[in-house]
């Protein structure tokens, strides 16, 4: 697959995911997050597991046995990534969740890749400085959110803490998923094979949570249609697109491309009447994205020199 196709897949993913973030933020006000997680991931697991079995179940079993550790890490990264994202969207402004979840990506990718992927070029001083500035900027943005200086300030302090912790876990999960999915592709995994096994831990834990709590998996009639749209358009399509993107371009370029996500999210979020315009959020997002662009240009230039 060409890198140009990867970029196109990535842009479409960002557009759909931004709408997904805003929609989930609205939907989880009336539906428990665990139910949203369960229906999204049970549907994708069953769909892609069926495809994998049809294509050759013996081949899938063989790959799982050979790459058990990688599959486990990908499952944990999905738990952190999507679990953190959906919970964070319940308590924080979608634009803040979008910025925090992707802004840490390039910075953490640079820091982690030197330990995880030995093929990555050595990190330069400028990249380290910008990476830390990005992380500090995200920290300041999250502190502002904690203090109520955002477009979504009707939540309690406890809710904001949960949201902030969740978005941090989500950002870490995003980076780990990108890096280790790339490793599975190097081991000759197909996109549908990764999607068939990557969410098993998420499904099991969300079902276990629902089973031991007083939450019911039954959906009210008026929620069935929104949930179906969320599952099909907001979940199944994006997870396919993101793996296509990861397969076509490098982890750093994936992180940089995903900078479009908070831009789209900021535009879409004002369709939700609960969210007010926030100067603090806009300034923070602009500064962080600018730093990331500088970081990306620096990294790409260095890679081209090598």
Going by pLDDT thresholds of 50, 70 and 90, the confidence category of residue 69 is very high
Going by pLDDT thresholds of 50, 70 and 90, the confidence category of residue 121 is very low
Cβ-contact 7, 257 below 8 angstroms: yes
Over range 73-100, report the average pLDDT.
83
Neighbours of 135 (CB within 10 A): 18
Of residues 146 and 301, more confidently modeled: 146
Over range 262-277, report the average pLDDT.
67
Over range 79-93, report the average pLDDT.
82
3-state SS assignment for residue 80: helix
Alpha carbons within 13 angstroms on the beta-carbon side of residue 153 total 14
Distance CA 31, CA 28 (A): 5
Distance CA 132, CA 107 (A): 7
What six digits make up the tokens of 291?
A: 């730093």
Domain parsing of the chain, residue ranges: 3-304
Choose the weakest-confidence range: 132-146, 165-179, 284-298. Answer: 284-298
| Residues ≥6 apart with Cβ < 8 Å to 11 | 257, 260
**pLDDT per residue over 194-224, tens digit each?**
989 999 999 998 888 888 887 777 877 877 8
What six digits make up the tokens of 285?
A: 């997002």
| Residues ≥6 apart with Cβ < 8 Å to 68 | none
Q: How far is CA 226 from the centre of its chain?
A: 21
Cβ-contact 32, 215 below 8 angstroms: yes
What percent of the chain has a predicted confidence (pLDDT) above 90?
Answer: 13
Per-chain mean pLDDT for the chain: 77
Distances in Å between the Cα of 175 and the Cα atoms of 78, 87, 135, 263, 289 are 10, 18, 14, 19, 17
């Amino acid at each position: 697959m060409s890198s140009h196709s990867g970029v196109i897949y990535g842009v479409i993913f960002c557009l759909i995911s931004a709408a997904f973030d805003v929609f989930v933020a609205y939907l989880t006000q009336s539906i428990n997050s665990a139910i949203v997680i369960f229906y999204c991931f049970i549907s994708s697991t069953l769909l892609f597991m069926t495809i994998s079995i049809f294509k050759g179940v013996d081949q899938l079993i063989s790959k799982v046995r050979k790459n058990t550790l990688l599959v486990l890490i990908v499952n944990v990264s999905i738990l952190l990534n999507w679990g953190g994202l959906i919970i964070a969207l319940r308590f924080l402004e979608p634009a803040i969740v979008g910025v925090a979840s992707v802004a840490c990506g390039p910075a953490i990718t640079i820091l982690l890749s030197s330990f995880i992927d030995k093929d990555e070029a050595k990190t330069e001083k400028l990249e380290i400085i910008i990476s830390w500035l990005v992380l500090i900027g995200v920290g300041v943005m999250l502190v502002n959110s904690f203090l109520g200086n955002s477009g979504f300030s009707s939540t309690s302090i406890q809710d904001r803490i949960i949201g902030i912790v969740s978005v941090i876990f989500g950002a870490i999960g995003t980076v780990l998923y990108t890096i280790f999915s790339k490793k599975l592709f190097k081991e000759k995994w197909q996109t549908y094979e990764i999607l068939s096994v990557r969410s098993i831990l998420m499904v099991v834990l969300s079902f276990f949570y629902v089973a031991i709590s007083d939450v019911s998996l039954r959906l009210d009639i008026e929620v069935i249609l929104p949930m179906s749209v969320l599952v099909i358009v907001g979940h199944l399509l994006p997870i396919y697109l993101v793996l296509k993107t990861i397969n076509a371009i490098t982890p750093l370029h994936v992180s940089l491309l995903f900078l479009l996500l908070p831009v789209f999210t900021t535009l879409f979020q004002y369709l939700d009447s609960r969210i007010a315009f926030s100067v603090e959020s806009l300034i923070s997002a602009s500064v962080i994205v600018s730093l990331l662009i500088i970081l990306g240009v620096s990294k790409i230039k260095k890679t081209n020199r090598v």
